Amino acid sequence: EAQVTQNPRYLITVTGKKLTVTCSQNMNHEYMSWYRQDPGLGLRQIYYSMNVEATDKGDVPEGYKVSRKEKRNFPLILESPSPNQTSLYFCASSSLGQAANEKLFFGSGTQLSVL
């Protein structure tokens, strides 16, 4: 089954404790992206990657890191989480081509709470 898998689904942590949210896709997609979703603000892009070893900042990259060492994986790293990073996070992927971003496949989300 074609899917984007995020883990964990729920995470509660404390300020300053490094964490990683994993994302994996089995569709051989070149493009992967991370979004955060906050009430009233919709989905905002954190980082994206056009292919292996190619990552770029989105609209709200501060406080986050990503890596793309393999095509299928795109982990999101919070080196020193802060309470304002409490949010619902989504990983997404799509194939590149004439309509990149047109049909993003989203994971089920990771609800992060930073205390």
Residues that bind other proteins (CB under 8 A): 4, 35, 40-45, 56, 90, 92, 99-109
CB neighbourhood size of 108 (10 A) = 12
Token match 């609209």: residue?
59
Toward other proteins, which CB reaches closer, 64 or 90? 90
Report the nearest approach of other proteins to the CB of residue 17 (Å).
26
Toward other proteins, which CB reaches closer, 61 or 106? 106
Report the nearest approach of other proteins to the CB of residue 98 (Å).
9
Toward other proteins, which CB reaches closer, 52 or 88? 88
Rg of the chain over Cα atoms, rounded to whole angstroms, equals 13
Report the nearest approach of other proteins to the CB of residue 62 (Å).
18
Toward other proteins, which CB reaches closer, 44 or 71? 44
At 79, which amino acid appears? E
Backbone φ/ψ region at 71: left (φ over 0), alpha (ψ -120 to 50), beta: alpha
Peptide bond into 8 cis (omega under 30): yes
